[in-house]
C-alpha cells in the first residue's frame, strides 16, 4: 500500500525600507508536532536598529507556519 506525506517549505524576509534584513525559513509536515524556524541575519546594522520590527515579522512568520501545519494535520486527519 502506498503511504505518502506532504511537506511544505515556507520562506520569508523581513524587509525594512526596501532592504532585506533577515530571512526566515522552515519546512512543515503533518507529522511534526512543532516547526522550528531558521533565521538568517542579512544586514546586522539594520537588524540592530530594527529589532522590534524584525521580531514582529518573525512572530508573523511563525503564525503563518502554524496555520499551514494545522491545515496539513487536518487534511491528513491528525
Who wins on pLDDT, 35 or 45?
45
Domain contains 57: yes
Domain contains 34: yes
Q: pLDDT, tens digit, for every residue of 2-34?
A: 988 777 899 999 999 999 999 999 998 777 766
Q: Output the pLDDT for position 31.
A: 75
- Report the C-alpha gap between 51 and 65 in whole angstroms: 21
SS3 71: helix
Q: Output the pLDDT for position 69.
A: 82
Domain contains 23: yes
Domain contains 58: yes
Domain contains 2: no
Domain contains 71: yes
Domain, as residue range, for 31: 7-75
Domain contains 1: no
Q: pLDDT, tens digit, for every residue of 49-76?
A: 999 999 999 999 999 998 888 887 766 5
Q: What is the DSSP letter of 1?
A: -
Number of domain units in the chain: 1
Helix H, strand E, coil C: the string for 21-60 is EEEEEEEEECCCCCCCCEEEECCHHHHHHCHHHHHHHHHH
Amino acid at each position: 500500500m502506498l503511504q505518502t506525506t506532504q511537506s511544505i517549505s515556507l520562506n520569508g524576509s523581513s524587509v525594512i525600507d526596501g532592504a532585506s534584513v533577515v530571512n526566515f525559513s522552515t519546512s512543515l509536515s503533518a507529522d511534526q508536532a512543532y516547526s522550528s524556524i531558521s533565521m538568517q541575519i542579512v544586514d546586522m546594522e539594520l537588524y540592530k536598529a530594527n529589532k522590534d520590527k524584525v521580531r514582529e515579522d518573525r512572530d508573523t512568520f511563525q503564525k503563518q507556519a502554524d496555520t499551514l501545519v494545522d491545515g496539513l494535520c487536518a487534511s491528513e486527519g491528525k
